[in-house]
Each structure stands twice: as C-alpha cells, then as structure tokens.
C-alpha cells in the first residue's frame, strides 16, 4: 500500500522534478495537489489522474484533515511560505515534507518542528543529497577518516541567474529569495555532512553586482570554524555556474564536482579513485526513503532539526554580513 502525497505549489520543482519522480516511487504516489492557479488543475488532473476530491487551494487546504487518501503534504512553495503551510499541513494531521531551505529564520523552523510534534506527524526536509549514494559515502568518511583528519573544506554552489523577471520571488526579499537561501544551503549542509560536525562561528560578506535587478544577496561568501581547528570556506552566487565540495585531510582528500546536480554527483580522491555518479532518480530515492520511515514508524533520514541547524547558521551569516563580516558565534 503506497502513501498518498499531495504537492503544495505547482511551480518548477513540483512540475519538472517531483511529479515525474512520484511516477517512479515504490512506497508513495502523487494523489493530490494544492494550487492557487485554477488553470493548472485540469492539466495536472489529466496528466496524473488526480481525483476531484484531492484538489485543494490555499484557502481550503486545511480540509485535507478529512481526506484519508492523502498521507503526506509536500511543501514546494516560495521559502517564506514554508512555515505557514507546513503548520497548516501538520494541524490537518498529515506528515510534512518541506523543501529546503526549511524556512527563512530559526524561529520559523522551531514553529514547524513544534507543530509536527504536537500533531504527532513526521517532518522531513528536502535535502535530497543526503539520500544520494556518493554523498552518503562522503558522509561515512567523516567518521572513517580514510585520508586522516579533515583540516579544511571548500564548498561553492551557484548558477547564473538571468534575472529576466525582476519580480520573481527568488530575486526578491519578501518571499525568501536570494542566493544564500536558494543555493547557499547546499555548501553549508555539505560542509556539515562532510565533517559530521557543527560550526562554532561564522563570518560572512554579501556582494551584489546587479542591485538594480537582484533585490537580495547575489553572492554570499562565508567562512566557518568547526571544532578541532577545522575551517570551511564557502560561496554561493547567482552570478556564476559553480558546484564543488572539496575536503582536505592530513593524508590527501577528495573532491565532488558537481556535488549537488540532479544528474548525479561525481568526484575523485587524491589517490585517483573515481567516485562514480549514481544514475537513479534522486527525488524518487528521497521520497521512498521518507515514505518508508513513515510506514515503519522510524525517524526520517533528514528530520526538521537538520533544517533548523542550517538556518541557525544562515541567521548568523546574515548577522555577520550586516556587521561588516564580524565573526559571529553560533
Ligand atoms: P517556483 O517559483 O517555480 O514555484 C513556486 C510555486 O509557488 C509557483 O507555482 C507559485 O505559483 C506558487 N506560489 C504560491 N503562492 C505564491 C506567492 N505568494 N508568490 C509566489 N509564488 C507563489 O519555485 P521552485 O523552484 O519550484 O521552488 C519551490 C521550492 O522548492 C523552494 O523552496 C525551493 O528552494 C525548492 N527547490 C528545491 C530543489 C531541490 O533540489 N531540493 C530544487 C528547486 C527548488
């Protein structure tokens, strides 16, 4: 018996990645939609056979509480709306899958965690990389230390954002846009999972070469200090296509490039071993992992607390940048 998933927000990620992946999943399937765009309803119903009684809008979404066909609500909305709709989903008694970044500040993350606890539903954050096999090998190396103790890391993720529509939420502040929220959580999460450690402090600067069209951070540079003197230099940007996670240890190291592409993660170690990309569908793997956790009553791989840990650092990154790059203790 598969779990029924309802996607909330039928934009790019739901349309191009999640809905197709939900045709490949073994433990869950696409059964419902929540949308504010009536013209999308017949298109989605025809394509995915979604029943009339499984179609909701943002005003009546809470009524999903009475719908036994929907087990999971997947929040795929602009970042500043994650909290509101995650809480509505939890209060309807549904398990919550929430896209990254979890929310736009740590307080909002805590409110989502509380709502899910109170309603006794699972909460997972859409960090698909943590479900991906090459990434999982890197995560296991944090403990195994095949190249000795980790000393320094370099992580960067970004793409050239054309800013063709200056009103789009991803390049405006109000709905949680900006490179840091969009791409910056990948290097941040990456250096955390590659070390298995939590950063102690951060210093950050924000640069913007196109303030006329990008009304958020275009490029954010942040340096993290971890326990044992380990340091990480990180970058995220809307001004260039970059995607690397490099780990330097006492006796060598390893580099993933790209480290968060949908098409797979590939890398090489300092002694020439290739890390071959996983060819499967990352989103299907993530959603099947998360569905199985619900079915088996086990904790999910990427719980809400993991999203909160990143956003606490993001809060500190923005605070540091406001204070001209001052070192902020986390
Ligand atoms: P998008 O802009 O393409 O889609 C957002 C959807 O939200 C649109 O359908 C829009 O109509 C709807 N929406 C509802 N209320 C809105 C409002 N008030 N203002 C604007 N839009 C509103 O964005 P996307 O790229 O699909 O991103 C959605 C979420 O998914 C984000 O949190 C993003 O970070 C995440 N995402 C994750 C990945 C991943 O690999 N895990 C990839 C892409 C996006």
Closest CA to 64 of 4, 114, 125: 4
One domain, residues 89 and 135: no
**Last residue in a domain, options 91, 125, 159:** 125
One domain, residues 114 and 230: no
Within 13 Å, how many C-alpha atoms sit on residue 238's CB side?
A: 25
297: in domain? no
One domain, residues 188 and 240: yes
Distance from residue 152's CA to the centre of ligand 1 (Å) = 34
Sequence-ordered list of residues with C-beta below 8 angstroms from that of 260, at least 6 positions apart, any chain: 129, 157, 186, 190, 243
For residues 45 and 41, what is the distance between their CA atoms, to the nearest angstrom? 6
CATH number for 83: 3.40.50.720
286: in domain? no
One domain, residues 218 and 76: no
287: in domain? no
- Residues 86-101: tens digit of each pLDDT: 999 999 999 999 999 9
One domain, residues 113 and 160: no
26: in domain? yes
One domain, residues 139 and 243: yes
Within 13 Å, how many C-alpha atoms sit on residue 29's CB side?
A: 10
Give, for all 330 residues of the chain, the pLDDT tens digit: 999 999 999 999 999 999 999 999 999 999 999 999 999 999 999 999 999 999 999 999 999 999 999 999 999 999 999 999 999 999 999 999 999 999 999 999 999 999 999 999 999 999 999 999 999 999 999 999 999 999 999 999 999 999 999 999 999 999 999 999 999 999 999 999 999 999 999 999 999 999 999 999 999 999 999 999 999 999 999 999 999 999 999 999 999 999 999 999 999 999 999 999 999 999 999 999 999 999 999 999 999 999 999 999 999 999 999 999 999 999
* Residues framing ligand 1 (Cβ under 6 A): 9-13, 36-37, 76-79, 81, 99-100, 126, 128, 169, 175, 182
Distance from residue 175's CA to the centre of ligand 1 (Å) = 10
| Among 85, 99, 173, residue to substitute to test ligand 1 (most atoms within 8 Å of Cβ) | 99
Distance between first and last Cα of the chain: 44
Burial classification of residue 159, based on how many CB atoms lie within 10 Å of its CB (0-12 exposed, 13-18 middle, 19 or more buried): middle
Residue with tokens 């990456």: 190
Asked whether 186 and 157 are in contact (CB, 8 A), the reply is yes
> For the chain, what is the domain count?
2
Q: Tell me how far the alpha carbon of residue 250 is from its chain's centroid.
A: 30
One domain, residues 121 and 161: no
One domain, residues 118 and 66: yes
One domain, residues 140 and 272: yes
**Last residue in a domain, options 95, 125, 155:** 125
Atom of ligand 1 nearest to the CA of 14: 26
Atom of ligand 1 nearest to the CA of 37: 11
One domain, residues 76 and 106: yes
Per the structure, the complete domain to which residue 108 belongs is given by 3-125
292: in domain? no
293: in domain? no
Residue 299 sits at φ, ψ, to 5 deg, of -65, 145
Helix 106-118 to helix 304-322 angle (10° resolution) is 160
One domain, residues 223 and 133: yes
One domain, residues 219 and 111: no
Sequence-ordered list of residues with C-beta below 8 angstroms from that of 39, at least 6 positions apart, any chain: none
**Last residue in a domain, options 72, 96, 125:** 125
Complex-level ipTM: 0.99
CATH number for 165: 3.30.360.10
Alpha helices in the chain (DSSP H): 12, 19-21, 40-48, 82-91, 106-118, 133-144, 179, 185-195, 282-296, 304-322
């Amino acid at each position: 018996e598969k779990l029924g998933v309802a996607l909330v927000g039928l934009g790019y990620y739901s349309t191009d990645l999640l809905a197709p992946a939900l045709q490949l999943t073994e433990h869950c399937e696409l059964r419902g939609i929540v949308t504010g765009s009536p013209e999308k309803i017949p298109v989605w119903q025809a394509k995915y056979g979604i029943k009339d009684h499984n179609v909701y809008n943002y005003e009546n979404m809470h009524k999903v509480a009475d719908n036994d066909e929907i087990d999971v609500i997947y929040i795929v909305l602009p970042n500043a709306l994650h909290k509101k709709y995650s809480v509505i989903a939890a209060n309807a008694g549904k398990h919550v899958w929430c896209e990254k970044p979890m929310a736009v500040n740590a307080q909002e993350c805590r409110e989502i965690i509380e709502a899910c606890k109170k309603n006794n539903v699972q909460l997972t954050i859409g960090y698909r990389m943590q479900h991906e096999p090459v990434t999982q090998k890197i995560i296991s190396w944090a403990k195994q230390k095949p190249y000795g103790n980790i000393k320094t890391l370099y992580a960067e993720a970004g793409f050239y954002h054309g800013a063709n529509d200056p009103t789009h939420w991803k390049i405006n502040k109000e709905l949680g846009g900006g490179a840091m929220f969009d791409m910056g959580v990948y290097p941040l999460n990456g250096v955390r999972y590659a070390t298995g450690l939590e950063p102690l402090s951060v210093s950050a600067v924000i640069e913007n070469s196109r303030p006329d069209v990008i009304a958020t951070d275009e490029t954010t540079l942040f340096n993290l200090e971890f326990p044992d003197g380990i340091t990480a230099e990180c970058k995220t940007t809307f001004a260039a296509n970059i995607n690397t996670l490099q780990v330097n240890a006492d006796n060598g190291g390893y580099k993933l490039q790209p480290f968060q592409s949908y098409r797979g993660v590939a890398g090489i170690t300092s002694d020439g071993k290739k890390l071959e990309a996983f060819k499967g569908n990352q989103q299907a793997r993530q959603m099947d992992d998360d569905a199985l956790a619900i079915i088996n009553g086990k904790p999910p791989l990427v719980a809400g607390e993991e999203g909160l840990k990143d956003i606490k650092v993001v809060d500190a990154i923005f605070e540091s940048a406001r204070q001209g790059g001052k070192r902020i203790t986390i």
